[in-house]
Structure 1
């Protein structure tokens, strides 16, 4: 077609995203939008905050940080060529290799340094 914008482009392989053991497929309409995932993650984080620490101030800000951080951490911790099983419940747990666990650990560590 005569366009030069394609020079230097490279295909980057990526594994499949799975939800409940089934692959997501845009062609079949089996897709979850990132906007929806982030919204749900923030809501789950907010619910967890209400249950575990109801007196916490700035719950909305913190739930946005925890929910967004959890999704980003989950994406970065996985090797991109492997298939990835995505579960919001597992992504937002405070145990194991999760964003909320790392955030909690860092916050706890820094609070000890200040006291």
Structure 2
């Protein structure tokens, strides 16, 4: 998950290789949520909502099951990051949370 960044959420940063991004969520970032403008990358089941621009893909990049492939409007069950940013379990894991889960039940984006 990437949220509230001044610029991009997930970016290729000029990486010359083929990247694969799956089940990630970009929300409320000032720049592009998913910026993969170089080379051929594969993006599957990602979710981009309320970013400066949700997605910018270069030629040859694509994927399926992403919010921009599915279309429509997107809202979340929870936008409160308290469970994610708060205390962890004794084993160090993040407690389960509805934070940034699609309200429509779609199988896209990150899960905790």
Which band: TM-score by shorter chain? under 0.3
Q: Which has the larger radius of gyration?
A: 1
Provide the TM-score with structure 1 as the length reference. Answer: 0.21
Structure in which a larger fraction of residues adopt strand: 2
Larger helix proportion, structure 1 or 2? 1
